[in-house]
Amino acid sequence: MADAKADSHADPAKKAKAPKPKAAKKLDPKTLKGPDFWQKRIDRFEELYKKQEEEYKSKSKPMKLKLLDGKEMECESWVTTPIVLAKKISSQLPDRVFVAKIGETLWDLTRVVEDSQDGQTIEFLDWESTEAQHMFWHSSAHILGAAMEWKYGAKLSTGPFLPEGGFFYEADTTTPVSEVEYQDIDALVKDVTSKKYPFQRLVLSKADALELFEYNKFKHATLADKVPENGFCSVYRCGPLIDPCRGPHVNTTGRVKAMMVTKNSSSYWRNKDTNPVLQRIYGISFPKAAQLDEWKKIMAAAEENDHRKIGTRQGLWMFNELSPGSCFWYPAGAHIYNRLTEWMRVLYRKHGFNEVISPNMYNKKLWETSGHWKHYSEDMFQLKGDEKTTYALKPMNCPGHCVMFSNNRHSYKEFPVRYADFGVLHRNELQGALSGLTRVRRFCQDDAHIFCLPEQTTEEIEKGLQFLEQVYTVLGFKFHLALSTRPEGKLGTDKMWDRSEHYLRVALNKFCNIQGEQNDPFSPGKTFEYNGTESCVKRLKRNMADAEKAGTPLNVKQLWFMNEGDGAFYGPKIDIRIEDAMKRKHQLGTLQLDFNLPQRFDLSYEPKKSVEQPPLKEGQLVNCDGSLWVASESDPNVDTEGNPKEHALSGDEAKKAYVNGEKRPVMIHRAILGSLERCIAILAEHWQGKWPFWVSPKQAIIIPVSEGFMGYAKEVKDFFYGEGFEVALDTSDATLNKKIRNAQMSQYNFIMVVGADEQANKSVNIRVRGSGKKEEEDKKNSKDKKADKEKEEKVATLVKSLDETLAWFQELNKTQDPSM
């Protein structure tokens, strides 16, 4: 089943062993017959689709949809499609947009509008929209699925888009997929896209769906599990492929102008190692060929600077099958690791955090209390203490911090309480999912948990955003913010989530300098409150443009976006995706609000006026923090502390949250670097192995001009090493030029050459990383030989005393200059 959204952790469970690529003849699609189930499936689809069209026409009646500017467009329910309306607006618009949005629901351009949408707003999303991109890649997965059925007679399983770009489809192909077959798949894909097959949507009963996919046990099982009894589901057809799917999709396969297979692997069906092994094929696609060319350039640069290659070249770390998924850090790698943690410890003190140390192993009772055992036990390393006791290595720190907090009685005067923890974590990732430093089993996070008063929540979230901005600025990362809201299977009540999400929205708007409520540029006289949805983004951008023209800019720092349904099961969160030097996006940090763990661990504090509250009266409302909700005199819908009545709890929920004479704190989960292992992998690629001086494992190397100055060179090396710098000494027999060249290739930040003059004056002759390359380029492009000679002499005289050099190095460490 092609899902509308991919699991962000959907990685292959087992790497496929493909034979060595050999030259192969190009496949002619005309010579390849499709699988036997195609025609029967198509015949049944067409039969049901014809009935659907007749049914839709019989229900037609006039209705209206509104554009963002308020203009109304007349249409007929169950007949008119968004693409027809787009053509009425502009003859070029259908070629620029990929999907419509009616109200807050994405809608196929060729799907008929429904009478329940009468009066709603319609907008059209182009490639600039993240939602449109995800939908485009999802449609491309269907095209890939068609090619896989065609070539292998494959029984398809799932085919989602990937949030970071691209998509995959996994299926039973009967034999492993080989890299030499990529060109065959690409040829079949090109055939499907060139024929511009329309994407057709059909709604059918569960019984009809099970019959339609009786040949495919994967689709059959998914439909049986996910579609309610006597319920309905949608399927999409594009050419020969018919696939159960929620949609939406592009209007035709011809919208995909450039597409290619990128890699393949094997995976377990539903990510369980007891299930059948499937073949997973990944791809990328774009609406323009030039975009694919640009993507290839970025990927080539990424391949050259893969952190695994950098780690090997620079001797930073290694892996061994004796401890799969656990990194062995050599001294140079350990230096990077330690510098980052030391830096964070300095920042922790400035931001009011206190470091704690918590156990690595806990009784499973802890995880049952927190709720993790139900949701996460399969991903924990479990140990048996005796026949009755089960323990598990911790995969996260939050439950342990709750235990520590609950051990002491707290007053409102202590808050906020901020715990930071660099404890080792373990997660039982599947063997095949392990990938360098980016996916490991043993790792460490710059983990922190903030316990605060409810009224401090927004301020603490905003401070957390300012903290991560400070860190990412030093590392040279741009960052993008998204509010991830309640998922299916969440813990806690809707009212708890309403309040939690409200706190995060307010904090995001304050940090980004976005006015909460402002005039709606498309509906004069009305206002809107920015909440990160696509429609709000368009409204805010229009307001920003209008204000800029008027000479009164809004000074919005950045936009944030809504990521609906992607919160953790115990609370909404702010996802932070950083953008590296190659414009790739990665997730490192998070800020997550949690009302559930404080309740599960019965966390509490003494409020300002510690007066014992009377027993809870029948019908009395209670706030999510356990305090009584008492209406204010000025507004009966808001209590005396400004909490909305709609967020208050009643009945059994109120009794459960009520704390006699005490209040519950709010808990915030916070990480900035995230997993240090993953962060270091991203930094290695971001900096292309050229580590800035303050974190570099190769800050300087001492090179004597001859053996006679080796003693002084060692003295210089010991001096700087004793001051805490990573300094090496070249003792090889190579020529001076060769030694300098080797040091340049090894990415030392500074090369310090010493000879007679330096020994006599207790100084060093310094060459800065990259200066040689720059000099060569400047000389190549220059026509002024006299100026070149003067420049060479000037560079050659970069001589400093040992004390001057030490002061310089200390200043570079302090300022964290990224250019050095």
Q: Which long-range contacts (CB under 8 A, 24 or more apart) does 228-234 make?
A: 230/205, 230/206, 231/205, 231/206, 232/203, 232/204, 232/205, 232/206, 233/203, 233/204, 233/206, 233/209, 234/201, 234/202, 234/203, 234/204
* SS3 of residue 417 by DSSP: strand
Average pLDDT, the chain: 90
| Cβ count within 10 A of residue 584 | 18
Residue 781 structure tokens: 């492009």
Q: State the Cα–Cα distance between residues 311 and 440, nearest whole angstrom.
A: 15
pLDDT at 8: 38
- Is residue 151 within 8 Å of residue 188, measured between CB atoms? yes
Q: State the Cα–Cα distance between residues 492 and 485, nearest whole angstrom.
A: 13
Backbone dihedral region for residue 367 (phi beyond 0: left; psi -120 to 50: alpha; all else: beta): alpha
With cut-offs at 50, 70 and 90, classify the pLDDT of residue 433. Answer: confident
Q: State the Cα–Cα distance between residues 55 and 42, nearest whole angstrom.
A: 20
Helices (H), 112-205: 130-152, 182-194
Residue 749 structure tokens: 């930040």
Backbone dihedral region for residue 497 (phi beyond 0: left; psi -120 to 50: alpha; all else: beta): alpha
- Is residue 409 within 8 Å of residue 661, measured between CB atoms? no
Cα 96 from chain centre: 27
pLDDT per residue as tens digits for the range 333-356: 999 999 999 999 999 999 999 999
CA neighbours within 13 Å on the CB side: how many for 193?
26
Residue 711 confidence (pLDDT) above 80? yes
Q: What are the E-state strand segments in 360-436?
A: 361-363, 382-384, 390-393, 417-421, 424-426
Q: State the Cα–Cα distance between residues 426 and 419, nearest whole angstrom.
A: 20
- Cβ-Cβ contacts under 8 Å for 627 (sequence gap 6 or more): 607, 641, 663
- Is residue 799 within 8 Å of residue 763, measured between CB atoms? yes
Residue 534 structure tokens: 């696509």
- Is residue 162 within 8 Å of residue 141, measured between CB atoms? no
pLDDT per residue as tens digits for the range 393-412: 999 999 999 999 999 999 99
pLDDT at 13: 43
Q: What would the mean pLDDT of 453-476 be, rounded to a whole number?
A: 94
pLDDT at 583: 84
Any bridge partners for residue 268, and if so which? 277
More confident residue, 432 or 442: 442
- Distances 695 to 339, 640, 683, 719 between C-alpha atoms, Å: 6, 51, 11, 19
Q: Which long-range contacts (CB under 8 A, 24 or more apart) does 802-807 make?
A: 802/716, 802/719, 802/762, 802/763, 802/764, 805/720, 805/752, 805/763, 805/764, 805/766, 806/719, 806/720, 806/723
Nearest to 145 by CA among 66, 70, 108, 199: 199
Q: State the Cα–Cα distance between residues 656 and 648, nearest whole angstrom.
A: 13
Residue 434 confidence (pLDDT) above 70? yes
With cut-offs at 50, 70 and 90, classify the pLDDT of residue 273. Answer: confident
Phi and psi, residue 294, nearest 5°? -65, -40
What's the residue count for the chain? 820
pLDDT at 796: 43
pLDDT at 386: 82
- Cβ-Cβ contacts under 8 Å for 430 (sequence gap 6 or more): 11, 13, 14, 268, 271, 273
CA neighbours within 13 Å on the CB side: how many for 70?
7
Q: What would the mean pLDDT of 494-512 be, rounded to a whole number?
A: 90
Cα 363 from chain centre: 31
Q: What would the mean pLDDT of 631-636 be, rounded to a whole number?
A: 86
pLDDT at 27: 86
- Cβ-Cβ contacts under 8 Å for 740 (sequence gap 6 or more): 703, 751, 753, 767, 772
Cα 142 from chain centre: 24
Cα 739 from chain centre: 42
- Is residue 162 within 8 Å of residue 6, measured between CB atoms? yes
- Percent of the chain surpassing pLDDT 70: 92
- Is residue 802 within 8 Å of residue 719, measured between CB atoms? yes
Q: What angle do CA 722, 728, 731 make, to 5 degrees?
A: 125
Residue 769 confidence (pLDDT) above 60? yes
- Is residue 282 within 8 Å of residue 262, measured between CB atoms? yes
With cut-offs at 50, 70 and 90, classify the pLDDT of residue 19. Answer: low
Cα 331 from chain centre: 30
DSSP 370-386: HTHHHHHGGGS-EEESS
Helix 182-194 / helix 130-152 crossing angle, nearest 10 deg: 110
* SS3 of residue 282 by DSSP: strand
Residue 444 structure tokens: 């460490």
Cα 201 from chain centre: 31
Q: State the Cα–Cα distance between residues 413 and 804, nearest whole angstrom.
A: 48
User: What global pTM score does this model have?
Assistant: 0.79
Residue 311's H or E segment, with its range, is: helix 307-313
pLDDT per residue as tens digits for the range 112-171: 999 999 999 999 999 999 899 999 999 999 999 999 999 999 999 999 999 889 999 999
- Percent of the chain surpassing pLDDT 90: 71
Nearest to 446 by CA among 338, 533, 374: 338
| Cβ count within 10 A of residue 457 | 26
- Cβ-Cβ contacts under 8 Å for 609 (sequence gap 6 or more): none
- Is residue 63 within 8 Å of residue 77, measured between CB atoms? yes
Q: Which long-range contacts (CB under 8 A, 24 or more apart) does 49-56 make?
A: 49/200, 49/202, 49/237, 52/202, 52/203, 56/112
With cut-offs at 50, 70 and 90, classify the pLDDT of residue 584. Answer: confident
Residue 25 confidence (pLDDT) above 90? no
Torsion, Cα 372 376 382 388, to 10 degrees, reads: 50
Residue 9 confidence (pLDDT) above 50? no
pLDDT at 143: 98
